[in-house]
Amino acid sequence: MISNSAQFELMSEFRAKCKKHNLKMTPQRVTIYQELVKAKDHPGCEDIFERVHKKFPDISLDTVYRTLSTFADIGVINQVEGYGEAKRYDPNTGRHHHLRCLKCNSIVDFQDTTFNNLRIPKSVEKSFVVNNIKVILEGLCKECAKK
């Protein structure tokens, strides 16, 4: 769970990035972002839609999807690829990596400087400019491993 001070900081960064990109601060956009910040599960678009729909019954799934895509485009959130499933979203834009359960599909953040400092192979550097390193470790979460 994100602390209140961290939530406040994320909301401040959110407002600043929206202002920088001339994105209006509508109640729907704020609520979508707040739901992401509160989430512990790297939710997908439909998950966020279900949560926001309670407050805004007239909001469409398409609006939520476009809003999440816009947020990812301006760097307010990260898009976590769905690995064959629907795309998932993460409000944590700081450097971190993910653990993904192959059974229940949960995604959990972790930080490790060893992974942050991976060396890019020279063969890759010759043909590709690497801007970011994200490591995904796949396996079974504690709950699924018990079963």
In three-state form (DSSP H/G/I as H, E/B as E, the rest C), the secondary structure along 7-69 is: HHHHHHHHHHHHHHCCCCCCHHHHHHHHHHHHCCCCCEHHHHHHHHHCCCCCCCHHHHHHHHH
Quick one: pLDDT band at residue 21, thresholds 50, 70, 90?
Answer: very high
Q: Which two tokens stand for residue 70?
A: 């816009």
Q: Which pLDDT does position 22 carry in this prediction?
A: 95
Going from N- to C-terminal start, the domains of the chain cover 4-90, 97-146
Distance from the first to the final alpha carbon of the chain: 26
Question: pLDDT tens digits, residue range 40-96?
Answer: 889 999 999 999 999 999 999 999 999 999 999 999 998 887 566 778 998 888 889
pLDDT at residue 66 in the model? 96
Q: Of 74, 50, 75, whose CA–CA distance to 64 is shortest?
A: 50
The most confident of the ranges 43-57, 94-108, 114-128, 129-143 is 43-57
pLDDT value for 39:
87
CATH architecture classification, 97-146: 2-Layer Sandwich (3.30)
Q: What is the pLDDT of residue 4?
A: 74
**Residue 1: pLDDT above 60?**
no
Burial of residue 125, with CB atoms counted within 10 A of its CB: 0-12 exposed, 13-18 middle, 19 or more buried: exposed
CATH value of 4-90 in 3.40.50.300, 1.20.140.10, 1.10.10.10, 3.10.50.30: 1.10.10.10
pLDDT at 82: 59
Beta bridge partners, 90, equal 78
Residue of 135, 53, 132, 38 whose CA lies nearest to 89: 38
Decide: helix, strand or coil at residue 116.
helix
pLDDT for the residue numbered 2: 64
